[in-house]
Structure 1
Amino acid sequence: MNKIGINVASRRHELGMIQEKLAELSDLSINFISKVERGAATDIKAGTLQSLAKALNVSMDELMNGKMKEHHAGPL
């Protein structure tokens, strides 16, 4: 599984969402969602990634790179 696939599956599970619901919300096929999560879809277009991000209520960056760590200004 690639990083995007891991992040999509992880976020979908976090939301308690099944692949069919994600497919419906993102206007993508269930087959494609499955391929993304397995890492079999290697050339994901920006528009597709945006649809997934919107359906999962995260940024495209979070889908590509994982959750962003908090940055603190100044010393802890």
Structure 2
Amino acid sequence: MTDKPPHTKWATGSNLAFVSYAADPERELVIAMGVVDNLGKGAAGQAVQNANLMCGLPETAGLDGASVWP
């Protein structure tokens, strides 16, 4: 674990999610932070993944390419 908050660049082009938090016990405050690249794992990516599973194809068929442009 790192003391740095997650950066959006960490998730670019991947299906990964990075989650962290910061706490201030004196003010009883917790801030949750998370980053994802929703271009590859949005609703359309999930639909393709589900269709692959239903059709007996590898789960990642059609999803291996980078989802970023350019």
Q: TM-score range by the shorter chain?
A: under 0.3
More helix by share: 1
- TM-score, normalization: structure 2? 0.21
Decide which structure has the larger Cα Rg and report it. 2
- What TM-score does the superposition give when structure 1 sets the normalisation length? 0.20
Structure with greater strand percent: 2
